[in-house]
Structure 1
Amino acid sequence: MPIIDSSTPKAFSYPPITVERARRSLICSPFHLKLFETMRSQSVSLSAIANETGVKHGYTKKPLSELAGDNELGWLIQVGVLRREVDGQGITDSFRLTPLGHQLIEEYQGKSQPVASWRDRLHDTVIRWFRLPF
Structure 2
Amino acid sequence: MTAVETKNTESIQYPRRTIERAERAMRCSPFQLQLFAAMRSQSVVLNTIAGESGIKREYTHSPLSELAAENALLWLIQVGLLRREVDGQGITDGFRLTPLGRQLVEKWQSFGGKLPAPTFGDRLYNAMSRWFRLF
Q: TM-score, normalised by structure 1?
A: 0.90
Corresponding position of 1:3: none
CA drift of 1:100 comes to 0.6
**How far apart in 2 are the matches of 1:16 and 1:52?**
36
1:48 aligns with 2:54: no
Instruction: Say which structure is richer in helix.
Output: 2
- The residue aligned with 2:121 is 119
Aligned pairs (5 A) from 1:90-109: 90-109=90-109
Superposition TM-score, scaled by structure 2 size: 0.90
Structure with greater strand share of residues:
2
The answer for the alignment partner of 1:22 in structure 2 is: 22
**CA distance, structure 1, for counterparts of residue 124 and residue 117 of structure 2:** 14
How far, CA to CA, are the matches of 1:37 and 1:11 in structure 2? 21
Q: Of the two, which has the highest radius of gyration?
A: 1
Aligned mates of 2:27, 2:124 — CA distance in 1: 12
Alpha-carbon offset, residue 11 of structure 1: 2.4
Q: Which amino acid aligns with 2:57?
A: H
SS at match of 1:86: strand
Sequence identity, in percent? 59
Partners of 1:30 and 1:9 in 2: how far apart?
32
| Residue-pair matches, total | 126
Q: Which residue of 2 aligns with 1:63?
A: 63
Give 5+ residue unaligned stretches, structure 1. 1-6
Q: Tell me by how many angstroms 1:41 deviates.
A: 0.4
Question: Separation in 1 of the partners of 2:59 and 2:127?
Answer: 21
Q: Which runs of 4+ in 1 moved over 2 A?
A: none
